[in-house]
């Protein structure tokens, strides 16, 4: 006999429908799974066999063939355990087959028949629409809250294979799981750090405010202990609040990667990812035998912080250039090509030399000029060109460090950032791919970043004096546009250009002067 169960699998950060077909034949006992299964799917036969028997059902002593359609896409993971087990029970007549047609089933089985949570449940649930004729989706109890965030099909949480079968026989045995998305969103929206914790560093705080207001990438150069990491960790607290749509998109990525915290069903705060400099290419950009999102995608709608930037492998840093420009990464494999979103803000930090104290007034630098040059050469010019704001972060003076006075709270800075972002939203309302000043292409820069003759003269002098590139010219104009938005002025003024130029003058010539 033949049975069909509807299930789902992820491909990239999205999901697609999978039909789990179970066929039982009068042949020598065996268990075969076809449809491009990976190792975890092939091993499901052992889990399913034990789960059926330990749940007081009968596993057939016949030939069992499982087909996962469409057969041309590789299937991976353990989410097919439940539909395979239910399909076998339906094909052997232990469940009426028509009871299984109206539900999507997902879940990993333990040997005793209990259901374990699976990664990627949110995109799988979002794959189905409320008007497609299905009654609901059966998921492990620990996945229920995340699945309900999709707000598509009714979600029915079950603890075990036996409970799933009882629900199919009598739908009143399990209640539909419902959740108020807005309440969950508000409960999850909280930060544990604040800009008021930072003593001094007013110029660095201003640069981070400009960066947040326009979505600009930023690099901080300073000695150890000057507060670079402390400043970077507080960057998400001044970014505009995430919308529910952004939260769901970010949660999908973390869910597929298996990085969603067990106590959270929704990521409502801007992600802050800080990978170690020993990270691999697949870890940063994404990939692997079964491609998974990397840190650049996990930082989508948030901040990617690279501390000790020169310590990262140079070839890995060069891979950042494409996602920084396109806000996405494409990973090609023999069997498929996947595209992951990567709309992150890059915040980088580094020392000015190997010992960290070049240019510091309180510590002597022991590095030679050649050592400093080798250290700085680990970061290519094209990568530095793609970072809009370059600032120095000097060591904090004792007077500022011991002061009882607190700086501005993140909430106050965020209000100014939000006002600037609202101006940009209105400006780019007819530009669907542009959400902030940093996303402007050359055409938009020429349209929205017009400057007067005095500003043009200052910019021309800075470009020729510093030997900056054409890309740097455009990025100075973008930053000046953001500064004008923060000031609430329609036109870019001379002071705005001067401040933007100041953020681009920290090149290697000055560091080695």
Same domain, 330 and 470: yes
Place of tokens 């600037």: 420
Same domain, 383 and 311: yes
**Residue (of 94, 87, 104, 95) closest to 2 by Cα position:** 87
Same domain, 128 and 230: no
Same domain, 157 and 255: no
Spatial contact of 185 and 244, defined as CB atoms under 8 Å apart:
yes
Same domain, 434 and 325: yes
CATH number assigned to the domain comprising residue 63:
3.30.230.10
Domain boundary residue, one of 131, 156, 179: 179
| pLDDT by position in tens, the chain (length 513) | 789 999 999 988 999 999 999 999 988 899 999 998 988 899 999 999 999 999 999 999 999 999 999 998 889 889 999 999 999 999 999 998 888 889 999 999 999 999 999 999 999 999 998 777 899 999 999 999 999 999 889 999 999 999 999 999 998 999 999 988 888 888 777 888 999 998 888 899 999 999 999 999 999 999 998 899 999 999 999 999 988 889 999 999 999 998 888 778 889 899 999 999 999 999 999 887 778 899 999 999 999 999 999 999 999 999 998 899 889 998 887 667 888 999 999 999 999 899 988 888 788 888 898 898 888 888 888 888 889 999 999 988 767 777 777 789 999 999 999 999 999 999 999 888 888 999 999 899 999 999 999 999 998 888 888 777 778 889 999 999 999 999 999 999 999 999 999 998 764 443 443
Same domain, 166 and 260: no
Same domain, 215 and 327: yes
Same domain, 127 and 221: no
Same domain, 150 and 203: no
30: helix, strand or coil: strand
Structural domain for 62, as ranges: 2-179
CATH number assigned to the domain comprising residue 251:
3.40.50.300
Question: What is residue 381's predicted lDDT score, i.e. its pLDDT?
Answer: 84
Domain boundary residue, one of 136, 151, 179: 179
Same domain, 170 and 200: no
Domain boundary residue, one of 159, 179, 199: 179
Question: What is residue 184's predicted lDDT score, i.e. its pLDDT?
Answer: 82
DSSP H helix total and E strand total for the chain:
23, 18
**Residue (of 79, 182, 92) closest to 139 by Cα position:** 79
Question: What is residue 507's predicted lDDT score, i.e. its pLDDT?
Answer: 45
Q: Other CB atoms closer than 10 Å to residue 259's CB: what's the count?
A: 16
The C-alpha atoms of residue 240 and residue 215 are separated, in whole angstroms, by 10
Q: Other CB atoms closer than 10 Å to residue 293's CB: what's the count?
A: 27
Number of domains comprising the chain? 2
Question: What is residue 506's predicted lDDT score, i.e. its pLDDT?
Answer: 60
Same domain, 175 and 199: no
Spatial contact of 146 and 170, defined as CB atoms under 8 Å apart:
no
Same domain, 170 and 192: no
């Amino acid at each position: 006999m033949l049975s069909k169960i509807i299930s789902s699998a992820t491909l990239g950060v999205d999901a697609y429908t999978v039909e789990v077909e179970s066929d039982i034949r009068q042949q020598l006992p065996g268990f075969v799974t076809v449809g491009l299964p990976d190792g975890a799917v092939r091993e499901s036969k052992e889990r399913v066999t034990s789960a059926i028997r330990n749940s007081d059902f009968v596993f057939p002593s016949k030939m069992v063939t499982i087909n996962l359609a469409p057969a041309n896409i590789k299937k991976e993971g353990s989410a097919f355990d439940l539909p395979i087990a239910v399909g076998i029970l339906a094909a052997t007549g232990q469940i009426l087959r028509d009871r299984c047609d109206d539900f999507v089933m997902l879940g990993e089985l333990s040997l005793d028949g209990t259901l374990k949570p699976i990664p990627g449940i949110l995109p799988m649930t979002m794959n189905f629409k409320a008007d497609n004729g299905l009654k609901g989706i059966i998921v492990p109890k620990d996945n229920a809250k995340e699945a309900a965030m999709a707000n598509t099909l009714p979600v029915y949480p079950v603890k075990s294979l036996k409970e799933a079968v009882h629900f199919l026989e009598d739908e009143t045995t399990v209640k539909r799981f419902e959740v108020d998305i807005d309440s969950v969103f508000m409960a999850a929206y909280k930060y544990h750090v604040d800009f008021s914790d930072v003593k001094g560093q007013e110029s660095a705080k201003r640069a981070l405010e400009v960066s947040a207001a326009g979505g600009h990438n930023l690099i901080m150069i300073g000695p150890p202990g000057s507060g670079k990491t402390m400043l970077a960790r507080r960057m998400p607290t001044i970014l505009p609040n995430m919308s529910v749509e952004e939260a769901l998109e970010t949660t999908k990525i973390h869910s597929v990667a298996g990085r969603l915290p067990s106590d959270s069903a929704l990521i409502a705060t801007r992600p802050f990812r800080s990978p170690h400099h020993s990270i691999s290419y697949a870890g940063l950009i994404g990939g692997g035998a079964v491609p998974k999102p990397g840190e650049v995608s996990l930082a989508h709608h948030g901040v990617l912080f690279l501390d000790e930037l020169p310590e990262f492998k140079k070839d890995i840093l060069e891979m950042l250039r494409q996602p920084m420009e396109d806000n996405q990464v494409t990973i090609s494999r023999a069997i498929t090509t996947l595209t992951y979103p990567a709309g992150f803000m890059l915040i980088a930090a580094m020392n000015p030399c190997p010992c960290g104290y070049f240019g510091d007034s309180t510590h002597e630098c022991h590095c030679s000029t050649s050592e400093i040059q080798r250290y700085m050469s680990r970061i290519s010019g094209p990568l530095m060109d793609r970072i809009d704001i370059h600032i120095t972060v000097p060591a904090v003076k004792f007077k500022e460090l011991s002061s009882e006075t607190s700086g501005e709270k993140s909430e106050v800075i965020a209000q100014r950032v939000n006002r600037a972002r609202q101006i940009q939203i209105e400006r780019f309302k007819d530009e669907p791919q542009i959400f902030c000043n940093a996303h402007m292409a050359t055409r938009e820069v020429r349209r929205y970043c017009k400057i007067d003759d005095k500003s043009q003269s200052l910019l021309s002098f800075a470009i020729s004096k510093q030997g900056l590139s054409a890309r740097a010219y455009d990025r100075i104009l973008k930053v000046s546009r953001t500064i004008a938005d923060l000031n609430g002025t329609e036109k870019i003024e001379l002071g705005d250009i001067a401040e933007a130029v100041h953020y681009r003058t920290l090149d290697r010539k000055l560091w080695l002067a």
